[in-house]
Amino acid sequence: MNTLTTYDGTIERTLYRDDEIAAAIERLGGDIARDFSGQPLLLLGVLKGALYVVTDLARAIAAHPNGPSETVVDYMCVSSYGNATRSSGEVRLLKDTSETVTGRNVVIVEDIVDNGLTLEYLHALMAERNPASLRSCVLFDKPYHRKVDVPVEYVGLICPDAFVVGYGLDYQELFRNLPYLAELQPWVFAA
């Protein structure tokens, strides 16, 4: 349980403003729309962190006239951090996809990749189901502590080597609804 009652005074610095995030998603949407032009696409958002990325990305893809023939959005839910600020390395699947993956063009949409274990787990899980194609898109990349060499075809923005919150990313379930990406004041972790 956290004891915070307000976000006032909790933010150390803003790393990416909302307009910078929107521009990155627009670019990713354009890249994906071009790559899947005329083909059906299944976007698989990884909850909870990717809740905003996947919806904004789906709309960015729709903004392109020569994009996919259809775009279906679905979700998985995983837990890898619990309430800590470093990944446990143990990924738990809390909710599987509702859509069938077999034979589809699948793009896994993640909020952030750090050591890569979460994405590797999801990539392997989806690959077993024989999709027509399988790619990954992450909005934020922390490339400093990768433990596995997982392919990421679409990368939005590079993050500093810090624990970050906002735009879907939480600390103890808080801060997801910040429209920007931020670093927290150190005292927050002790609160």
Residue 91 to residue 79: CA distance in whole angstroms: 6
97 binds ligand 5GP (CB under 6 A): no
Site for ligand 5GP in 56-75 (CB under 6 A): none
Q: Is 134 in the site for ligand 5GP (CB under 6 A)?
A: no
Asked whether 109 and 60 are in contact (CB, 8 A), the reply is: no
Name the residue among 114, 118, 110 with its Cα closest to residue 50.
110
Least CB distance from residue 98 to ligand 5GP, whole Å?
20
Q: Is the peptide bond before 95 cis (omega within 30 degrees of 0)?
A: no
Minimum distance from residue 110 beta carbon to ligand 5GP (Å): 5
| Under 8 Å between Cβ of 95 and 76 | yes
* Cβ closest to ligand 5GP, residue 36 vs residue 167: 167
Would you count residue 117 as binding ligand 5GP (CB under 6 A)?
yes
Q: Is 184 left (phi over 0), alpha (psi -120 to 50) or beta?
A: beta
Nearest to ligand 5GP of 144, 187 (CB atom): 144
- Pair of tokens at residue 183: 């670093």
Is residue 110 near ligand 5GP by the rule CB under 6 A? Answer: yes
The answer to whether 114 is a known catalytic residue is yes
Residue range at the interface with ligand 5GP (CB under 6 A); choices 2-10, 94-102, 128-136, 163-171: 163-171
Catalytic site residues?
114
